[in-house]
Amino acid sequence: MIVVVDYGMGNLRSVENAFAFLGIKVKISDSPEVLRKAKKIIFPGVGHFGKTIEELKTRRIFDILKEKINKGVPYLGICIGMQILFEGSEESPDKEGLGIIKGTVKKLKAGKIVVPHMGWNRIKINKSIVDNKENLLFKGIKDGSFFYFVHSYYCLPEEKKIITSITNYGVEFASSVHKDKVWALQFHVEKSQSLGLKILNNFNKLC
């Protein structure tokens, strides 16, 4: 069972509809019992770091989510679903993330760029990682492909070897990462048309 985590925010139905288009059934839930049974987990959305962490704890799924990831259940994080994997964020300095990935989340600096970063942008794929047989999330995706972004913060992993793609928007940032059974994307696959659908289909086939 693929569970899409419901934390009261985000594009849950958009993700569900994208999978339905692919003929893949997912279950949207914030139930601790349902999450414990998940074979794969998707955490989508747009949201505030601190409020997202609070919602996970209020719904009693913060610790379960962390436990499932640590046990090797495949996880796909989208936008805030990527950011909460880190230890913390400048958006909410008083809140701790899941700490699955060492590093922090930084704010994009306005000036020559408009913040939030909203719209289509190119990803530069780290082919040495993506071509690994254990990481096929980007199978069929060409280097330089465009995906849809909506964010004001970006992830800064301590381990550069986990970065699977980078994007430039005022600063060069990690637009996707992969570590063990965790895949995470700063861009929105559910809004990225055919290439986004290809990535979701690839995730369904992983593991």
Residue 155: active-site member: no
* CA 54/CA 32 separation, integer angstroms: 15
Amino acid letter, 156: L
Kindly report the CATH number that applies to the domain delimited by 2-205: 3.40.50.880
What is the tens place of the pLDDT at every residue in 107-164? Answer: 999 888 999 999 999 999 987 765 555 568 999 999 999 999 999 999 999 999 999 9
101-107 and 117-122 beta bridge pairing: unpaired
Residue 188 is a catalytic residue: yes
pLDDT at 189: 96
- HSE-up of residue 123 (Cα within 13 Å, Cβ side): 28
Q: Per-residue confidence at 46, pLDDT binned at 50, 70, 90?
A: confident
Q: Is 178 a catalytic residue?
A: no
Name the pTM for this structure.
0.95
Q: What confidence score (pLDDT) does residue 8 get?
A: 86
Report the pLDDT averaged over residues 33-57.
95
Instruction: Name the active-site residue from 16, 55, 79, 151.
Output: 79
Spans of all domains in the chain: 2-205
Which residue among the candidates 16, 55, 91, 190 is catalytic per the annotation? 190
Which residues are paired to 29 by β-bridges?
5
The two tokens of residue 85 are 């994997």
Confidence of residue 180 (pLDDT cuts 50, 70, 90): very high
**Of all helices (H) and strands (E), which one includes residue 80?**
helix 80-83
